[in-house]
Amino acid sequence: MKDQYSLLAPFYNRLTKLVFGEDLTLAKRHFVENIEGRKVLIIGGGDGLAYQSFQNHLSGEYWEISRAMLQKAEVNLEESGLSFHLGFFQAEKEFDEVWLHFVLDTMLDEEIESLLREIRKSLKPQGTIHLADFFSPQNFFQRIKQGSMIGFFRIAANHKRKNLPDYEAILENQNWVKMAEKDFLEGWVKAQKWSLK
């Protein structure tokens, strides 16, 4: 499998901080609470830096399809109780929560649907999905930024999408219910928590 993030991995974190400041990190951390003793599944976590400050409380699994990102995460989160896996997530164990942070926007609708079916097999009955991602831009400048970002990632990381997924429609179709939501950047970025009906 070709590593689409091998070129970006060394400076991905600095780049997102330069463009968005701390907002994306805050969105990723927003629903992180009482994780001690909970099994967390992180899919597409990138270099893992957003989770470094509380890594001692983290246990579960970390799945990445980019070897370069995974190697960074292994170093950045070496004091965590996570096990690290290269490839597409396959359900084997049970988890309390699944974190999908800025990863669904890189996937086609059918990939999201199939990932959600796999996640469902491995989530405890009261388990939750924690989503953080880009939604509709709220003003002219955000629309320009979003268009440039999509173009940049199509070239630099071979992203297939030309738009954003309708996360809510896809989740609701698979019987997920939104429990909580927090807006960042005026609602362009949202952190959401979902559970099964």
Ligand X SMILES: C[S@@+](CC[C@H](N)C(=O)[O-])C[C@H]1O[C@@H](n2cnc3c(N)ncnc32)[C@H](O)[C@@H]1O
Under the rule (CB under 6 A), what is the footprint of ligand X? 5, 43-46, 63-66, 69, 88-89, 101-103, 106-107
- Residue closer to ligand X (CB basis): 128 or 131: 131
- Reduced to 3 states (helix: H, G, I; strand: E, B; else coil), residue 6 is coil
Cα(15)–Cα(43) distance, rounded to whole angstroms?
Answer: 21
Distant-in-sequence, close-in-space partners of 52: CB < 8 Å, separation ≥ 6: 76, 77
Shortest reach from residue 107's CB to ligand X, in Å = 6
Quick check: 94 and 141 in contact, CB under 8 A? no
Q: How many CA atoms lie within 13 A of 78 on its CB side?
A: 4
CB of 103 to ligand X, least distance (A): 4
* Shortest distance in whole angstroms from residue 151 CB to ligand X: 14
Query: Cα–Cα distance between 132 and 140 in angstroms, integer?
Result: 22
Instruction: State both tokens at 190.
Output: 């949202």
Distance CA 3, CA 69 (A): 9
Q: How far apart are CA 10 and CA 12, in angstroms?
A: 6
The CA-based dihedral angle spanning residues 60, 134, 30, 66, taken in that order and rounded to the nearest 10 degrees: 30
Residue 140 exposure: Cα atoms within 13 Å on the Cβ side: 0
Write down the least CB distance from residue 69 to ligand X, Å: 4
| Nearest residue (CB) to ligand X, 89 versus 95 | 89
Closer to ligand X by Cβ: residue 5 or 135: 5
| DSSP conformational letter for 30 | T
Nearer to ligand X, 105 or 128 (CB): 105
Q: Which is nearer to ligand X, 43 or 123 (CB)?
A: 43
Kindly tell me which of 45 and 60 has the beta carbon lying closer to ligand X: 45
Shortest distance, CB of residue 70 to ligand X, whole angstroms? 8
Rounded to a whole number of angstroms, the minimum distance from the CB of residue 117 to ligand X is 13
